[in-house]
Amino acid sequence: MNTNEIKALVSLLDDDDKEVQLHVEQRIISLGGPVIPFLEAEWETNFNPIVQKKIEELIHTLQFDALKQRLREWKDSETQDLLEGMWLVATYQYPDLSLERLKKDLEQIYYDAWLEFKADVHAYDQVKILNSVMFSKLKFAANTKNFHSPANCMINIVLDSKRGNPISLCVIYMLIAHKLKLPIYGVNLPNLFILTFKTAETQFYINVFNKGIVFSRSDIDSYIKQLNLPPSDIFYEPCSNVDIIKRVLRNLSLAFEKTGDSDKMEEVRLLLDVVTENKESQE
């Protein structure tokens, strides 16, 4: 479909006949993501506020459908790369966000850590070095003032502001740790996401939300006991990247609920459904 044909469709978006409007909207949506640049160009040259609003809604629908498909492909991929998953979540709010930009930001943090890192020291000391870089030098910290802000789930915003919630800070910490070849993984504790340093000989835990404080399995025992929950392996052992993205999406849905944005809350729940569904349910 060429530009003139798209212009013709757009001109019918404010047609008096609602059925015509609906048919035109469905036709534009059927064209998929490639039509978005044409719609953006039309939005800039069309000064009818009704048409502009409808174009905005169509662009959002097309972007959201594309995001669902990319999330599904990510979940079904062999690697389920964590940074890519976090990038996809962030594109819900920032559809033009570049994955390469995130990689460059993380590469700079890794370089700062690499300059001070020592591979031949004890695991605790390696974590202390990374803590020093993350929290003393680079000033990453818990966003306690705006804990339920949706921005806390957006890795690009957390990298810019250096403020985040437990899971976003953990993800950044873990991505840098992996670049340093450290065996650090996410752990799904109730109400708090943490990390574990785990090898065949050594395991301890890291609370990134509290400046990387190190604690033991017995501390988790006490925490679970306080919550009156029975012990479970998931409170002690590494979780998958899919589990991490699920938790990020649950946090994001809750954030939109707290801010009263019910439309975005429901859309994020749909994204969560995509990451949760199994292959059998897709067939």
Spatial distance between the Cα atoms of 186 and 246, rounded to a whole number of angstroms: 13
Q: How high is the pLDDT of residue 76?
A: 95
Please check whether residue 93 is in contact with residue 116, taking contact to mean a CB–CB distance below 8 angstroms.
no
pLDDT tens-digit profile of 221-251?
A: 999 999 999 989 999 999 999 999 999 999 9
Please check whether residue 211 is in contact with residue 137, taking contact to mean a CB–CB distance below 8 angstroms.
no
The pTM score is 0.90
pLDDT at residue 203 tops 70? yes
Helix (H) or strand (E) holding 283: none
Residue with tokens 């301890």: 204
What are the distances in angstroms from CA 251 to CA 166, 212, 224, 277, 281? Answer: 10, 21, 21, 18, 25
DSSP code of residue 266:
H
pLDDT tens-digit profile of 8-49?
A: 787 777 777 788 888 888 888 888 888 888 888 888 887 888
In the chain, what are the domain boundaries? 3-76, 82-282
pLDDT above 70 coverage of the chain, percent: 97
Short-list 197, 208, 137, 138, CA closest to 168: 208
Q: How high is the pLDDT of residue 200?
A: 95
